[in-house]
Amino acid sequence: MALMTGEEFVESMRNMKLNIYMFGEKIENPIDHPILRPSLNSVKATYDLAQMPEYEDLMTVTLDDGRKINRFTNIHKSTDDLIKKVKMQRLCGQKTASCFQRCVGMDAFNAEWSTTYEIDQKYGTHYHDNFKKYLSMVQDKDLTVDGAMTDPKGDRGLAPHAQSDLDLYLRIVERRDDGIVVRGAKAHQTGIINSQEVIVMPTVAMGPDDKDFAVSFAVPTDAKGITMIIGRQSCDTRKLEGSQMDVGNSEFGGVEALVVFDDVFVPNDRIFMNGEFEFAGMLVERFAGYHRQSYGGCKVGVGDVLIGAAALAAEYNGVPKVSHIKDKLIEMTHLNETLYCCGIACSAEGTPTESGNYIIDLLLANVCKQNVTRFPYEIARLAEDIAGGLMVTAPSEKDLNDPEIGGYVKKYLKGIDGVSTENRLRILRLIENLTLGTAAVGYRTESMHGAGSPQAQRIMISRQGNIGRKKELAKAIAKIKEQE
């Protein structure tokens, strides 16, 4: 099958029978719902861009067997693949100024590829074959796949098997000849309502008592027993008002969901881990590494838009040449490009796994994500500083266009000559959207908690930092000899 167009993707989602709830009501038509549609448009953009000749090298891959696929379904076979992944993500961030939602599936593919191979090597299982057949189907149909890792976790001080409510970590509740039955939930699932499939993975390293929780598989998102409960975002109901200006980014966005698996059946050929607890940590670590690399691309692309918006706000305010404004824009650019450097560096230092696909340098990937937990916050602060208080005190578009009071708004909230009040307010609303509104979930807050909390990266940096070797280097330079 050829690559899907954006419209074909939308129609494929329209045919799904997803069980979605929002504001206490079941959503019968999520495709056209004004709150949900912008998130669908962000995924649609990944299909549209793949159809454009100027982006073909970044957005698509031609496999050894001649199949042309979307890069979001690719298995990285070289450092060049890893680098192009980051460049593709920056492009998508630039084009949508939001989360475009296919990264988690791509990162899950690559983590599953190598982990299933190594499980099979130890136990003689058939998980790698299962996964290869599954991935080939996804590539041929050009599907969007959600990667589901984060469990609700309950008491973080207790292992999965020790929870008072065992369902707080997704688990196997029945093993049958033809498959397994699972129960539990996955939280913060960005883009799952716009995905045809979901790959479920464990969320922590596990011990022998956690065998039922060491499970990985794939099922359609409209499988029986799956319920999606949409999370709230700041300013989300503005999308119901019909104002293009007031939402800041009217076309694109992202939404998250709490996804409940209520006794969902998984057939044998879609199981990628079934009780091999000692490999749970490997799968988590590899997925997290790939996903932390991703943030060196996607967040940088959104950062490009925010920097551009701040520069326009300064221009419309009449202060583009003021020294402290120029210095703030320089600092924003410096921070954003530093994140990109980290994403490219961990890619360029990638190495092959036993299975043949390439994994990033885990230390540098975690350094990348640790910086992402900080730099976007400073970029957002500087953008708000440049924009000024009107960003959060401006009247609505209805006030701007009201026959009685609109004249006042246009007169008193005007900036420089030659730029309409409407355009000035539009750029301020975009900055609000990226730093405080619905897109802040996909930029600022997600920068903190996406792909693991800041402490998770610090733990990995400690493990990968090789302090022992650095001590030996210092001893050699200082001519230190150990006493016998």
Give yes or no for a contact between 88 and 74, defined as CB atoms under 8 angstroms apart: no
109 and 60 in a common domain: yes
Residue 276 CA: distances (Å) to CA of 57, 105, 211, 213, 263? 38, 22, 7, 9, 21
> Which of 276, 307, 342 is a domain's end point?
276
Which helix (H) or strand (E) element contains residue 262?
Answer: strand 257-267
| Structural domain includes residue 413 | yes
419 and 462 in a common domain: yes
Q: Where in the sequence is the domain holding 347, given as residue range(s)?
A: 281-466
The confidence score (pLDDT) of residue 194 equals: 98
Nearest to 159 by CA among 102, 98, 204, 217: 204
CATH value at residue 448: 1.20.140.10
| Structural domain includes residue 473 | no
Q: Please give the annotated binding residues for FAD, written as ranges.
A: 190
Residues classed as catalytic: 99, 103, 190, 256, 291, 295, 298, 446
Question: What pTM was computed for the model?
Answer: 0.97
pLDDT tens for residues 345-404?
A: 999 999 999 999 999 999 999 999 999 999 999 999 999 999 999 999 999 999 999 999
Q: Please give the annotated binding residues, written as ranges.
A: 190
167 and 31 in a common domain: yes
Kindly state the average pLDDT of the residues 110-119: 98
Nearest to 310 by CA among 283, 331, 339, 340: 331
179-190 burial, b for 16+ CB within 10 Å, e for fewer? bbebbbbbbbbb
126 and 146 in a common domain: yes
How buried is 1 (Cβ within 10 angstroms: 0-12 exposed, 13-18 middle, 19+ buried)? exposed
Report d(CA 116, CA 129) in Å as an integer. 9
> Which of 229, 254, 276 is a domain's end point?
276
Tokens of 157: 């001080």
Give yes or no for a contact between 225 and 17, defined as CB atoms under 8 angstroms apart: no
- Listed in sequence order, the residues at least 6 apart from 122 whose beta carbon sits closer than 8 Å to its beta carbon are 276
Confidence at 441, pLDDT banded by 50, 70, 90 = confident
pLDDT tens for residues 313-322?
A: 999 999 999 9
Report d(CA 465, CA 241) in Å as an integer. 51
- Listed in sequence order, the residues at least 6 apart from 207 whose beta carbon sits closer than 8 Å to its beta carbon are 159, 277
The confidence score (pLDDT) of residue 1 equals: 66
Report d(CA 291, CA 101) in Å as an integer. 12
| Structural domain includes residue 84 | yes
Residue 328 CA: distances (Å) to CA of 162, 348, 370, 372, 384? 50, 30, 22, 18, 11
Tokens of 139: 């590539």
272 and 288 in a common domain: no
Task: Please determine, for residue 183, whether its predicted confidence score (pLDDT) is greater than 90.
Answer: yes
Confidence at 281, pLDDT banded by 50, 70, 90 = very high
| Structural domain includes residue 138 | yes
CATH value at residue 264: 2.40.110.10
* Distance separating the N- and C-terminal Cα atoms of the chain: 69
| Structural domain includes residue 113 | yes
| Structural domain includes residue 49 | yes
pLDDT tens for residues 85-99?
A: 999 999 999 999 999
431 and 286 in a common domain: yes
217 and 316 in a common domain: no
Q: Residue ranges of the alpha helices (H) in 25-151?
A: 37-50, 56-59, 79-96, 103-123, 127-141
229 and 189 in a common domain: yes
232 and 89 in a common domain: yes
> Which of 217, 249, 276 is a domain's end point?
276
Confidence at 445, pLDDT banded by 50, 70, 90 = confident
Report d(CA 469, CA 466) in Å as an integer. 6
214 and 82 in a common domain: yes
Report d(CA 405, CA 424) in Å as an integer. 18
pLDDT tens for residues 4-26?
A: 999 999 999 999 999 999 999 99
| Structural domain includes residue 119 | yes
Confidence at 483, pLDDT banded by 50, 70, 90 = confident
Kindly state the average pLDDT of the residues 199-212: 98
Give yes or no for a contact between 185 and 174, defined as CB atoms under 8 angstroms apart: no
414 and 347 in a common domain: yes
**SS3 (DSSP) at 97:** coil
| Structural domain includes residue 203 | yes
1 alpha carbon, distance to own chain's centre: 27
Kindly state the average pLDDT of the residues 434-449: 87
Q: Do the bridges between strand 145-148 and strand 179-186 make them parallel or antiparallel, or are there none, so unpaired?
A: unpaired
- Listed in sequence order, the residues at least 6 apart from 361 whose beta carbon sits closer than 8 Å to its beta carbon are 345, 346, 349, 350, 351
Q: How many domains does the chain have?
A: 2
pLDDT tens for residues 55-91?
A: 999 999 999 999 999 999 999 999 999 999 999 999 9
Report d(CA 256, CA 251) in Å as an integer. 17
205 and 173 in a common domain: yes
pLDDT tens for residues 30-57?
A: 999 999 999 999 999 999 999 999 999 9
